[in-house]
Structure 1
């Protein structure tokens, strides 16, 4: 894949994601996340859940000084992400790692990070947070996508498809825990599919 401009690359990635049913951030959500990151100006960012690399590259394009580590456990998606990263103008600042984020040794990562973006297995957010929060630097921020799960977290559990109930219960429990977290100030933003912004106190 030849090097492409960022705009052309993002258009191609959105098309690929739609055709192959790859979940990438909704445009409103990624737009808000990028705006928040521009305000924060992190130099080092960790993403859990690369998929095909769309959000990592959008963030890298918006933050020219930032370096991003991103972890993806699905080999096919990781390989596609590497194609897109390698053809992008941001390739020198994005490092993709093929692994299960719950099995990675944090000591092997380039922490501490100024920001952590969690967008991986939705029912495991509490475990991700507990594992990677120690890698967050002072005054760092953790961003969590899919806190609404297409509205399912806001309806009675009996109205949620049975196969998704455990995941929805886990997301609700995580949201409630973060609302009372002693070390973080958290705000749930009604953008995209629900974005939780947690600032280290």
Structure 2
């Protein structure tokens, strides 16, 4: 039933340009995790509605989500962070191929270090997307929170992690620590006094947090 529902929802998504299909195929072939098609469709609609001028992404991978977010709001400026050198190179190449390097800046290095640097430089963003090391979600949030403007949106992907967050006793041993950290993060942010947060059971779990004015 769940798989049938997913196929039904995917059949109602907008048609994709060829460059999107190619990037998705590359990600699949290289086993690079990218956001689920239903989840990213929802996030892109949020961007179209919210029209953020400055977007910060934690976790570039091959540049797929940054390019899709720019597609949703071509007037946006996007800064995205990637620690893995190979993926950083792939992302910069993909962005250059599509001639979007003037609007998308890829920063190479540890996300927490770069977030601290952006904070010191008093950078401000009105949309932040977290999709990197899941065990560090809360640490990423605590740094990103200082960069997010009041009235801004913060999106976190994979917060249900294959359903194990709801049933941690079923998680394989290698995932138990990470599942525990994601559960803690979910509890932390859904009860945070400065945010209004909802978790949607789409994709691998998408959390939407609105920073109160």
Query: Which TM-score applies when normalising by structure 1?
Result: 0.93
- Contact 1:9-1:84 within 8 A present in 2 as well: no
- Partner in structure 1 of residue 89 of structure 2: 79
Q: C-alpha separation between the residues in 2 aligned to 1:81 and 1:109?
A: 24
* Structure 1 CA distance for aligned equivalents of residues 120 and 57 of structure 2: 15
For the pair 1:54 / 2:64, whether they are aligned, the reply is: yes
Q: 2:140 maps to what in 1?
A: 128
Residues 109 and 162 of structure 1, relative CA distance in 2, 3 Å threshold: farther
**Which runs of 5 or more residues in structure 1 are unaligned?**
1-5
Q: Secondary structure at the match of 1:102?
A: helix
In the aligned structure 2, how far is the partner of 1:158 from the partner of 1:182? 30
Question: d(CA) in 2 for partners of 1:97 and 1:103?
Answer: 11
> 1:196 deviation in Å?
0.5
Structure 2 residue runs of 5 or longer lacking an equivalent are 1-15
Instruction: Name the CA distance, whole Å, in 1 between partners of 2:36 and 2:122.
Output: 28
Q: Which has the higher contact order (CA 8 A, sep 6+)?
A: 1
SS in 1 for 2:87: helix
The answer on 1:181 being equivalent to 2:213 is no
Say if 2:83 and 2:111, in contact at 8 Å, map to a contact too: yes
Q: TM-score, normalised by structure 2?
A: 0.88
CA 1:109/1:193 → structure 2, altered by over 3 Å: closer, same or farther? Answer: farther
**CA distance 1:110–1:83, shift in 2 (3 Å):** farther
Q: After the TM superposition, which residues 45-194 of structure 1 pair with which residues of structure 2 at under 5 Å, given as runs?
A: 45-104=55-114, 105-107=117-119, 111-155=123-167, 157-194=168-205
RMSD: 1.4
Structure 1 position 184, deviation (Å): 0.3
